[in-house]
Amino acid sequence: MITKDQLEALLPEMENDRVEKTISTTDTNKFGEAICAFANDLGATSKPGYLIIGARDDGKIEGLKIDESLMQLLLGYRTDGRIVPPPAMMVNKFSFPEGDIAVVEVQPSPVPPVRWKGKVCIRIGQRKGTANEAEERILSEKRSTFARSFDTQPVFGADLREIGIDIFKLSYLPTAIDAETLAANGRQIKEQLSSLKFYDLKADMPTNAGILLFGKNPRFYLPGAYIQYVKFKGTDETSDFEYEERFEGDLTTQLRVINDFIKSQIAKRVQHKLGEEYEFAYPNSAVQELLFNAIIHKDYQSNAPIKFYEFEDRIEIINPGGLYGNARPENFPNTNDYRNPTLAEVAKNLGYINAFNVGVKRAKAALDKNGSPPPKFLIDEPTSFGVIIYKKK
């Protein structure tokens, strides 16, 4: 994070690719656009950008009093889903005799384009705006060069014919792009897909995310891309089972199917005695959050499926791929990292997750509200991650 001495040296500089100043504490749209633009780093500085709140264009300190509510508002841009994929950023407050300054330090994203409310915001020098077709292409090619997340890598041997274009255009595109940009969209389908990280223009083939989300046969390229649900009659896997289901196919469709299945088959209401209030053996939102968390974080290079097993007394969700990146057993669930950031972005745009980095916390809160036991997380295995959700007694 920038130091106070570095900030003092930066204040007199004119606004540029990496610096924006404002004295407003309420212009949330301006804040979001600036953070998004710094994350896109169209000028390829490979350095952090700084949104400075409390200083005028000439560097003079305005004399603001920065309170905790503003700091929380700024921190919210990291997780609330208005900027996708979520930006890597830090927020700090500095006090001077003339007044306070809040600084948002934003790191360039490894998976551009980054969008603020569906728009790709950019900044070159003092110019601010929305990226045009050529500029989005630059960002997409930059991602192809530097991105290393599995879901943005090209699928060798695949081509555009493997993608269900209607699913992409009708089911997903309107959720990811703002209406104005969508109405003016005259781009070729490959460029539309590439802008959202589903196609690699340099390799001229779909990415793993494109195949997973819109592929006509994802398992041809990714054999483990399915969810195996089994309902057992007893308390272990040696028990007879009542029902088995396999969720496979494009994830855009399967996320909806799974969501409906959880509501109708898992989170069922139970009435113990006539006239008493209904109770839930498993709260819908907790099962949803934890299963979608498994889908987003799965290691799709594994041939094993996600196991979604319902026993007499509990549900177990096991997915290939242990804790990833900065997330470790000693800091889970307070620290999160995304093995598949594009899948997380899609789940947010489609409305299956409400914010980034809070799914586990939301699930624990839903279980507590339902009067259910707390979940048990299986986080010590290097090649898998699991959670046990206990049935309400």
Domain end, chosen from 221, 255, 277, is at 221
Which pLDDT tens digit goes with each residue over 190-215? Answer: 999 999 999 999 899 999 999 999 99
Band (pLDDT 50/70/90 cuts) for residue 134 is confident
What gap in Å lies between CA 89 and CA 243, rounded to an integer? 46
Nearest of 112, 198, 197 to residue 160 by alpha carbon: 198
Higher pLDDT, 136 or 35: 35
Percent of the chain with pLDDT over 70: 96
Domain check: are 81 and 181 in the same one?
Answer: no
Range from 42-51, 55-64, 347-356 carrying the lowest mean pLDDT: 347-356
Cα–Cα distance for residue pair 315/22, rounded to 1 Å: 50
The answer as to whether 192 is a domain residue is yes
Residue 142 in domain = no
Could you tell me if 240 and 372 lie in one domain? yes
- The number of folded domains in the chain is 3
Residue 298 CB neighbours (<10 A): 26
Mean pLDDT along residues 221-248: 95
- Burial status of residue 355 (CB atoms within 10 A of its CB: 0-12, 13-18, 19 or more): middle
pLDDT of residue 234: 94
Q: At what angle do helices 341-349 and 251-261 cross, to 10 degrees?
A: 60
Letter string b/e over residues 92-131, b meaning 16 or more CB atoms within 10 A of that residue's CB: bbbeeeebbbbbbbbbbbbbbbbbbebbbbbbeeeeeebb
Nearest to 144 by CA among 67, 56, 57, 209: 209
Judged against a pLDDT cut of 60, whether residue 28 lies above it is answered with: yes
Same domain, 213 and 232: no
Q: Is 148 exposed, middle or buried, given 0-12, 13-18 or 19+ CB atoms closer than 10 A?
A: exposed
Least confident among 76-90, 143-157, 363-377: 143-157
Q: How far is CA 182 from CA 119, 173, 177, 192, 199, in A?
A: 10, 8, 6, 10, 18
The residue range of the domain holding 63 is: 4-128
The mean pLDDT of 259-263, rounded to a whole number, is: 94
Nearest CA to 201 out of 211, 192, 191, 210 is that of 191
Tokens of 134: 């050529």
Decide if pLDDT at 271 tops 60. Answer: no
| Residue at which a domain ends, from 163, 198, 221 | 221
Residues 235 and 380 in one domain: yes
What pLDDT does residue 276 have?
Answer: 62
Q: How far is CA 265 from CA 134, 230, 310, in A?
A: 48, 12, 11
Where residue 11 sits, what CATH number does that domain have? 3.30.950.30
Q: 30 pLDDT band (50/70/90 cuts)?
A: very high
Task: Compute how many other C-beta atoms are within 10 angstroms of the C-beta atom of residue 321.
Answer: 22
Average pLDDT for residues 251-272, to the nearest whole number? 86
Q: Hey, what are 349's tokens?
A: 């745009």
Q: Is residue 140 part of a domain?
A: no
Return the CATH number at 320.
3.30.565.60
Residue 181 confidence (pLDDT) above 90: no
Q: Note the pLDDT of residue 144.
A: 65
Which residues are within 8 A (CB) of 382 and not within 5 positions of it... i.e. 6 or more apart? Answer: 322
Q: What residue type is assigned to position 87 of the chain?
A: P
Check whether residue 211 and residue 280 sit in a common domain. no
Task: Find out whether 135 and 114 touch, Cβ atoms under 8 Å.
Answer: no
CA 279, 314, 383: angle at the middle one, nearest 5? 140
Distance CA 196, CA 120 (A): 10
pLDDT value, residue 269: 67
| Band of residue 273 on the pLDDT scale cut at 50, 70, 90 | low
Tell me: do 263 and 374 sit in the same domain. yes
Could you give the angle at the alpha carbon of 191 between the alpha carbons of 337 and 219, nearest 5°?
55
pTM score of the predicted model: 0.83
Q: Is 322 a domain residue?
A: yes
Q: Which residues contact 17 (CB under 8 A, 6 or more apart)?
A: 41, 42, 43, 45, 49, 123, 124, 125
115-129, 183-197, 269-283, 304-318, range with the lowest pLDDT: 269-283
Residue 314 lies inside a defined structural domain of this protein:
yes
Q: Are residues 285 and 178 in the same domain?
A: no
341 and 232 in a single domain? The answer is yes
For the cut 70, the answer to whether the pLDDT of residue 336 exceeds it is: yes
Which SS3 state, helix, strand or coil, does residue 318 take? strand
Is 70 exceeded by the pLDDT of residue 275? no
Residue 137 in any domain: the answer is: no
Same domain, 93 and 209: no
Average pLDDT, the chain: 91
**Do 176 and 58 belong together in one domain?**
no
- Asked if residue 143 is part of any domain, the answer here is no
Q: How far is it, in rounded angstroms, from Cα 387 to Cα 319?
A: 9
DSSP-assigned letters across all residues of 229-252: EEEESSSSTTS-EEEEEEEES-HH
β-strands 19-22, 49-53: how paired?
A: parallel
Tell me the residue type at 181: T
Rounded CA-CA distance 132/137 in Å is 9
303 and 211 belong to one structural domain = no
* Helix/strand/coil for 227: strand
* Domain membership flag for residue 377: yes
For residues 234 and 101, membership in a common domain is answered with no
Residue where one domain finishes, among candidates 196, 221, 246: 221
Residue whose tokens read 């301006």? 30
Main-chain phi, psi angles of 89, to 5 degrees = -150, 160
